[in-house]
Structures are given as C-alpha cells and as structure tokens.
Amino acid sequence: MIRHGQFLSQKQTLSQKLSPQQIQYIKLLQLPTLALEQRIKEEMEQNPVLEEMDSFDESQITLQDSFDDSNPELAREKEEKEASNEKEESPLEEIETNEEIGKIDDDDWDELLHADETESYKAPLNPDLDEIRDLPKPYYESLLEELENQVQLLKLNEREEIIASEILGSLDDDGYLRRDIQAIIDTIAFNYSKLVMEEEIEHVLKQIQRLDPPGIAARDLRECLLIQLELTENSIDGKNLAYKILKNDWDLFEKKHFAKLIQKYHCDEEDIKAVYSCVRQLDPRPGLVETPDSLAGNYVIPDFDVKYVPGIENEETGIEEEGDFLVTLNQRNAPSLRISPHYRDMWNDIKNKKSTVPEIRETQTFIKAKIDSAKWFIDSIRQRQQTLMNVMQTIVALQADFFKSGEGMKPMILKDVSDRIGMDISTISRVTNGKYVQTVFGVFELKYFFNEKMETESGKMVANLELKDMIGKIIAEEDKLKPLSDQEIVEEMKKRGFPIARRTVTKYREEARLPVARLRKHL
C-alpha cells in the first residue's frame, strides 16, 4: 500500500562551510606575484581604511642544515625543537577551525588601531620600480591596424571595403582565416543588408593575403606557404620545385616521404634538401607579431629567489663547513599595509559617542566594518606569506642537490611536502601552481620539482624527469637517416637499466613535443 501525506522527521548531518575570510585566504594563496599586486590595489581602492606604507625591510630566511635528512643529529635536534614549540597547523586548517578569525570586539579597537606600524609588511626592494610601472606605456600599432591601413591603399569600392573589414575581423591570433566563406556572406547580409557573392570575397581575400605580412588570412598552412612562395624571389634555391610539391603533393611533403617525391619529380636528395631549406625560411604563423610591449608581458616575475652560499674552510681544522640556502620571497609579495591614520583619528573621535543620531551610528558602523575587512585582508596576506615560505623552504630541503648544482633531481610529490610541514595537499597545490623561483641555473615553475619515481633494475629510485631527459638525449643522438621508433627507444632504455613501457615512451616524447620517428627523418 502506498501511503500519501506529510510527515515530520529529523536528520542530523555534518557539513562545513567556508567563511568569506577563509575563501579570501584561499584565493590569495593561489595568486602569483603580479596578480597579488593587482589584487592589493583593487582592495585598497574598495577599502579606504587600507593603505600602503612607505617603508623598506629586506626579508630573507636562511635554510640551515637541519633541513637535510642526511644529517640524523641535526634532523633530531630540529624535531626536538619543533616538539617543544607550540604545534603549528596549516594556515588553511587554522582558518577552518577558527570561525571567529578576524572578528574585532569593541574592546580590541584601541589596540588594533594603535598597534606598532612596524608589524606590517615589507615594501618593494626598489621604490623606483613603482614609478616606472606607473609611466604610460608606449603605443605600438597592432597588426590589425597595420592591415587596415594597407587595405585603404587597395582602392576598394564600398562593398569590397565591407568584405575586407569582415575578413580582418575574423582572423585568429596566428593570422589565419578559420571562418567559413558562407558565414562571412551571412554576416554581411545581416549587418549591412548587402548580398555579396563568394567570388567577390575570394577576390578581396586574395588581395589581403598578399599584404604585409604575406600569407595573412590564409585558410590553412598549405595556402599560407604557397602564397609566400609566390612572393619569394625566383633566385632562391628550391623555390620552383617547392611550389610544385606543396601545390600538388602536400600530403607526401608533410609526411616526409622523400623517396616518393624523388621518384615522382625525377630529382635527387640535394633537390629535396633545397626544397625543405626554402620552406623553412617561410613564416607558418604570419599573424604572430610580437611588439616590445607584448614581449614584456611574457616575462615571468619569480615569486622566490634561492641561492646557495657555500661553507668556508675552518682555519683550525681545515674542514669546510656546510653551506646554507638563502630563500627570499619577492618583496612585491609582501607589501607594507596598515590601517589609515586618518580613519584611526576618526574612530578616536566617535568611538565613545553613544548618540542616537542616525548619521553618527552609520559612521561608526561604516568605520568598524571597513577596519574589520582591512584586518581580515592583512591577516590573509600574512598567512599567505608564511605559507609560501614554508613550502619553498621544504622544496629546497627535499631538492637540495638540484639547488646546489642544477642536477640530481629527486622523486617528489605533493604529499612529501605536505607530510613534512603538516599542511593539506590542496594547500601545497595552490601554493605551487603558477609560482616561479629564480635560481642560478634559471627560472623554474615550482611544479617542475614535483615528479613521480620509478625503480630501476638495480633497485635505485629515479625521478620521471630524469627519464624524460634520457629519452630526449637518445632522440638527439639517433641516426637522423633512420630515426628510432618508440619501441626501439624502449629497448635502448632497457639496455641502460630503465625498463619502461612503450606507451610511457610515447607519453614522455609527446610531452617534450618531439615528433614521431617518421617526421624526425632527415636526408
């Protein structure tokens, strides 16, 4: 029997919701240096209570040998010292267990507002950099503007100008016209109430494709290269044969079927070499034009700087002491923030007023809310700074050999760092994602230092990164007339004591953007 009706019941569930302050900390944690700088500016614009101080204080932490697992005594001293101190939890875990974080009682206002300003964060290393960043950027004409100016010199009629404008507006970042011709016809009919024919579009398109850079607005790579070949000087070796091959036998050319090309065109290897040499001089991405301004935007701003300071020789014993690692956080990660003295004075004037006037009560509520928000933000920045340094120190400790010599990368996963400093794996992932470190060997993303491991035939554990490098070296040293297949690379790796599967070789080769054997073949 089916029972109908309304019934009351109780159900107990356990759920956890993140407070706005917790969410704010998590979002700040995953921001890289430049994004953090922008986020702080936005917060200062939204909250007039928050302001940046003009101060300078260099921040650096020396990583002692106690981080080195190879020294049991120092490691034990470190453990005893940590055990004697108050247990340190992950900033994320601390936030999750303290729902009252950032809450300010009325009795705490004087202490907060008159706190020592030196407690705030460090200013940028070079204050002059701020002035440089605030200077207006020089103007560079975009490729689209350059093309529009060239189109004006083509003496097109009104219909053709509309077609040209629609074509230029449809180009992708590489300069290709990926849009279907019929779609352009439909757009012009809808927006301009003009019915144009496909022949008209092809006529205008052909003229645009021969502007500077040549090959712009091509519909595929083959067409792009053919257009450039048409405009290339006839004196260049291999041009004529290259044009014939690309026009009639693109598939054979793309797949490097040298023998078939030689047989079909009654030529020799030197002729085919000249063809490939000619094609290599062409631009496969004519729309990818980088201005000085765009290049500047591609620079990586390291979040950390790590240097190894070698130990000095003891004059009495003649034994060289162990060196130290100097781990520095980019100063733009740690701005000097404080609560505005102006709003502090305002609070001093109205804090004891128990007025029933709505304006005064609204002012008290406004200032309290803004200072509450400022304190939450400053606390989140402080926790972010501490978490970043803890994670970076641990990475340096676990990969000490690499930071000393640039070699000897050890297997390491997120859990290794998580277990060592008692933070959640998700926190480690947020810290390392999109963050970079400057070393004497170059700039590396923190994710670079995390790699899985495998056991060799001798029982030694090696990092996957080492396997990738070895596969790259095998390919670099192969006979280019007879490149090794993935299975042959497997056999070569096995000879060196690394038994890995063919699919693993294929995966690592593709990650390194190395083509298959057929496409690596040279004449």
Are 502 and 487 in contact by the 8 Å Cβ rule? The answer is: yes
HSE (CB half, 13 Å, CA atoms) of 170? 22
Are 390 and 304 in contact by the 8 Å Cβ rule? The answer is: no
CA distance 68 to 401: 10
Bridge pairing between strands 436-439 and 304-309: parallel
- Write out the two tokens for 300: 């990586």
Closest CA to 329 of 393, 274, 271, 378: 393
Are 453 and 462 in contact by the 8 Å Cβ rule? The answer is: yes
Are 50 and 340 in contact by the 8 Å Cβ rule? The answer is: yes
- Write out the two tokens for 205: 């398109």
Torsion of CA 195, 196, 197, 203, to 10 degrees: 180
HSE (CB half, 13 Å, CA atoms) of 208? 34
Are 338 and 426 in contact by the 8 Å Cβ rule? The answer is: no
> If DSSP codes are grouped into helix, strand and coil, which group holds residue 498?
coil
Whole-model pTM: value is 0.53
Q: What is each CA distance from 157 to 152, 200, 307, 357, in whole angstroms?
A: 10, 11, 64, 71
Closest CA to 121 of 48, 63, 58, 29: 58
**Domains along the sequence of the chain with CATH:** 20-122+303-448 (no CATH), 451-520 (1.10.10.60)
Are 462 and 444 in contact by the 8 Å Cβ rule? The answer is: no
> If DSSP codes are grouped into helix, strand and coil, which group holds residue 177?
strand
Written as one letter, the residue type at 487 is Q
CA distance 498 to 492: 9
523 residues of the chain, pLDDT tens digit each = 455 555 565 666 555 556 777 777 788 888 888 888 888 888 888 888 888 776 444 334 444 333 344 344 434 444 554 444 444 444 344 433 333 333 444 444 444 444 444 334 443 344 444 444 444 555 566 888 899 999 999 989 999 999 999 999 999 988 999 999 999 999 999 988 999 999 999 999 999 999 999 999 999 999 999 999 999 888 889 999 999 999 999 999 988 888 899 999 999 999 999 999 999 899 999 988 655 544 445 567 899 999 998 877 776 766 667 788 999 888 776 667 888 888 777 777 776 666 667 777 787 788 888 888 888 888 888 888 899 999 999 999 999 988 998 888 888 888 899 999 998 888 888 888 889 999 998 899 898 888 776 666 666 666 677 788 888 889 988 888 888 889 999 898 888 888 888 888 888 888 888 888 887 877 6
- Write out the two tokens for 37: 């700088």
Are 459 and 127 in contact by the 8 Å Cβ rule? The answer is: no
CA distance 159 to 183: 16
Written as one letter, the residue type at 403 is F
Helices marked H in 281-357 — which ranges?
292-296, 341-350
Which strand (E) or helix (H) includes residue 338?
A: strand 337-339
DSSP state of 199: H
Q: Which are the contacts of 237, defined by CB distance < 8 A and separation ≥ 6?
A: 274, 277, 278
Predicted local distance difference test score (pLDDT) of residue 119: 37
Residue with tokens 């794996």, as numbered in its chain:
425
Closest CA to 281 of 219, 215, 326, 342: 215
Predicted local distance difference test score (pLDDT) of residue 456: 63
Q: What residues are paired with 451 via a beta bridge?
A: 412
Predicted local distance difference test score (pLDDT) of residue 118: 33
Q: What are the φ/ψ torsions at residue 190 (nearest 5 degrees)?
A: -75, -45
Helices marked H in 47-90 — which ranges?
72-84
Predicted local distance difference test score (pLDDT) of residue 130: 45
Helices marked H in 307-437 — which ranges?
341-350, 358-398, 400-405, 414-421, 425-432
Closest CA to 19 of 106, 94, 105: 94
Closest CA to 390 of 92, 39, 21, 84: 92
Q: What residues are paired with 307 via a beta bridge?
A: 326
Which strand (E) or helix (H) includes residue 29?
A: helix 20-29
Predicted local distance difference test score (pLDDT) of residue 359: 75
Buried b / exposed e along 152-187 (16+ C-beta atoms within 10 A) = eeeebeebbebbbbbbbebbeeebbbebeeeebbee
Q: What is each CA distance from 280 to 160, 172, 229, 242, in whole angstroms?
A: 34, 22, 11, 11
- Tally of CB atoms within 10 A around 209: 24
